[in-house]
Amino acid sequence: MLLLLAMIASPVTTNLCTESGAYCVRPLTGNLCIDSPGYCDWLYKTGYPSPIRQGALYVYTQATTTNISPLYQLDFFDWTVLIIYFGILAILAIYGIYRVKQVIDFWRYSRFPPQPRGEFAEAELPRLTVQLPLFNEMYVVERLVQSITEIDYPRHLLEIQVLDDSTDETVKIARATVAKYAAQGFDIHYIHRDDRTGFKAGALEHGLKTAKGNLIAIFDADFVPNPDFLRKLIHHFTDPIVGCAQMRWSHINGSYNLLTRLQTIMLDGHFVVEQTTRNRSGNFFNFNGTAGIWRREAIEMSGGWQHDTLTEDTDLSFRAQLMGWRFVYLLDEHAPAEIPVEINAFKAQQRRWAKGVLQVWFKLYKRIWAAPLPLRVKVEIFFRLTGNISYPLMIVTSFMQFPLLLVRYNQGLHQLMMLDLPLLFFSTVSVVFFYGTTIYYLDKKRGSRLLHLPLVMGLGIGLAFSNARAVLEALAGVKSDFIRTPKYRVEKTSDESWKAKKYKRKHGWLPLLELSFALYFVLAIGYAVRMHMWGPIAFLLLFCFGYGYMGTMSLLQNARPQRRMSRLTPTKLNAFISGSHSRLGPEVCAIDKKSDSRP
């Protein structure tokens, strides 16, 4: 590090003179490489004759490939750095090719939405149970239950189960809410467990034992389904081999802050491109744990809800499809949901998903490869379930950026074109195509969200340490608890009440590591500028933003509530904790299906 600081701080020699403290004006020669020092460095580094001044004239030296970097030697260290770097870049490029194929397939299949085999007559509608798994959701439980009671479905065919594992004030609020709607004639039941065995999967399995419905709809606490939700999905179950049907998530608070704006793009990429392509191309599609309906028989025949992974939804989805059940995904219908506004909650959610999906791979890969499935389906499952392995590789790539600047200082443009460009295209530019496709499909006014794409890439890089930890735990077989995502009922961009509410996660030590890497990239950028290495700077800035944003926001958002809590009056605090919030207005729920990612 001291060496790096010394190199950046070292004086830069120049041909400019000074008179009376001011720079002299040097006459232009007409040679761009001479008039703009550093512009043609890439030529000189690759053996092109370089100009030197002899009196009033400039002459060109003999072509040379001698490196002018004081640290560069093509030795074992250099080859090690290059081999590791290009090896990792090649792996990421392979996953990038897979992402490009998904984009191509999306445009191929997006014009063919799934159609139900038939329609249930009103008198033939099946009995349905709605399960609402909760754990300490005091701010949103009333909103959730009220939205379910407003769903358009015959009341005598609809059962509601509030599956509550809570240990705080949520218990009292949920009981009162259930009693309120039971008095209005709804078939609604409050089921509380003192033993939280199996977490969400355990609660769903426990509720299934007493459920009356042949079909089971599931909603997490952060959802506010539209009244026509069941009507949009139910008719797909006229096909007896359909085991599950789900619709796309949309976002209640997608425009709240920069974090939510970037999240909407990331989530929309999954729900628009990935899920649509997988479902319509005959590949395995995974239920996302909420905003969907299951056939009870499919759950039971596939082994039921199991809690040996952190993504019980993906686990059951793949087991069911291995049994032959067919899944349906509706891209152009949506279920509004609240997304995390706080960075540590977002990181915890992403970490759980990253670890759980890889756990599903280790659990099922033998069954998958032994199953009588087309090879293309098995390969797609491999890419789907192992994609998070990129996060540890990203950390290695991050750490190697400065050694790479030293090693590659002598390489010119033709090496970059032959080696870097193809790999960088598939490993990074493919991300732009992927999320750009999502924005193009959903949004009518696309400019603003398209400008966020570099920041989306930076946010993905910033998740590297958090998600790499999850991946390494999955590889090592380390078990961990199901960490829920806090919900604060944030519906308006002006709402800052969540900053004084409960459930915030501690940031731990990761932000310090993220900030140290951000500083590392600041120094690397300084070195690149000092040595006129302009090409890598944009790439380095993405890493610097990603780690810096993650680390800074993790510390700041965790510290602010503690200062504000001292200024809250008891009346204000009770208003936050009580469930007396107004129902979502129609302006929140009436989200156009083509532009609902930013309500």
C-alpha dihedral, 54 to 58 to 61 to 63, nearest 10°: 170
Report the catalytic residues: 165, 313
- Domains identified in the chain, total number: 1
- Using pLDDT thresholds of 50, 70 and 90, give the confidence band for residue 592: very low
467 within 8 A of 354, measured Cβ to Cβ: yes
Which one, of 528, 541, 519, 538, lies nearest residue 402 by Cα? Answer: 528
Give me the pLDDT at residue 579, please: 41
* Tokens 């750490």 belong to residue: 399
Show Cβ contacts of residue 125 under 8 Å, excluding neighbours closer than 6 positions.
Answer: 153, 154, 157, 234
Show Cβ contacts of residue 491 under 8 Å, excluding neighbours closer than 6 positions.
Answer: 252, 253, 338, 584, 588
Distance CA 505, CA 136 (A): 13
φ/ψ of residue 596, rounded to 5:
-90, 5
pLDDT (mean) for 509-515: 92
Query: Per mean pLDDT, which range of 68-72, 256-260, 406-410 is the poorest?
Result: 68-72
* 15 lies in some domain: yes
85 within 8 A of 399, measured Cβ to Cβ: no
Q: Does the pLDDT of residue 565 top 60, yes or no? A: no
* Tokens 């040097």 belong to residue: 26
Q: Is 247 or 494 the better-scoring residue by pLDDT?
A: 247
Give me the pLDDT at residue 385, please: 96
- The model's pLDDT over 296-307, given as tens digits with 9 standing for 90+, comes to 999 999 999 999
* 437 lies in some domain: no
Instruction: Count the neighbouring beta carbons within 10 Å of the beta carbon of residue 235.
Output: 17
pLDDT (mean) for 377-387: 96
For the whole model, what pTM was predicted? Answer: 0.82
Number of H helices, E strands in the chain: 26, 11
Q: Does the pLDDT of residue 17 top 90, yes or no? A: no
Give me the pLDDT at residue 415, please: 53
* 516 lies in some domain: no
Give me the pLDDT at residue 33, please: 59
Joined together, the tokens standing for residue 54 give 């002899």
Distance CA 32, CA 41 (A): 11
* 143 lies in some domain: no
Distance CA 329, CA 233 (A): 9
Give me the pLDDT at residue 494, please: 87
Beta bridge partners of 215: 128, 295
* 574 lies in some domain: no
Q: Provide, rounded to the nearest whole percent, the portion of the chain with pLDDT above 70.
A: 77
C-alpha distances (whole Å) from 143 to each of 149, 173, 449, 483 are: 10, 11, 29, 22
Rg, Å, the chain Cα set: 28
Beta bridge partners of 23: 18
Give me the pLDDT at residue 55, please: 53
161 within 8 A of 191, measured Cβ to Cβ: yes
End-to-end CA separation in angstroms for the chain: 46
- Using pLDDT thresholds of 50, 70 and 90, give the confidence band for residue 575: very low
Give me the pLDDT at residue 280, please: 96
- The model's pLDDT over 148-188, given as tens digits with 9 standing for 90+, comes to 999 999 999 999 999 999 999 999 999 999 999 999 999 99
Distance CA 60, CA 315 (A): 67
Distance CA 100, CA 524 (A): 31
Joined together, the tokens standing for residue 314 give 């993906």
Q: Is 414 or 376 the better-scoring residue by pLDDT?
A: 376
* 46 lies in some domain: yes
Q: Does the pLDDT of residue 315 top 80, yes or no? A: yes
**Domain coverage including residue 30:** 2-60
Show Cβ contacts of residue 14 under 8 Å, excluding neighbours closer than 6 positions.
Answer: 37
Q: Does the pLDDT of residue 585 top 90, yes or no? A: no
Distance CA 344, CA 538 (A): 27
* 252 lies in some domain: no
Give me the pLDDT at residue 79, please: 80
Mean pLDDT estimate for the chain: 83
Distance CA 105, CA 102 (A): 5
39 within 8 A of 533, measured Cβ to Cβ: no
Q: How many residues can be counted in the chain?
A: 599
Q: Is 370 or 424 the better-scoring residue by pLDDT?
A: 370
Joined together, the tokens standing for residue 201 give 């999967």
3-state DSSP of 438-473: HHHHHCCCCHHHHHCHHHHHHHHHHCHHHHHHHHHH
Angle between helices 375-386 and 343-370 (to 10 degrees): 150
* 213 lies in some domain: no
Give me the pLDDT at residue 574, please: 44
pLDDT (mean) for 431-458: 93
- Cα 390 from chain centroid (whole Å): 13
Q: Does the pLDDT of residue 219 top 80, yes or no? A: yes
Instruction: Count the neighbouring beta carbons within 10 Å of the beta carbon of residue 561.
Output: 16
Q: Does the pLDDT of residue 559 top 80, yes or no? A: no
Which one, of 550, 264, 270, lies nearest residue 398 by Cα? Answer: 550
Q: Does the pLDDT of residue 277 top 90, yes or no? A: yes
Q: Provide, rounded to the nearest whole percent, the portion of the chain with pLDDT above 90.
A: 62
Q: Is 79 or 456 the better-scoring residue by pLDDT?
A: 456
Query: Per mean pLDDT, which range of 376-380, 401-405, 553-557 is the poorest?
Result: 401-405
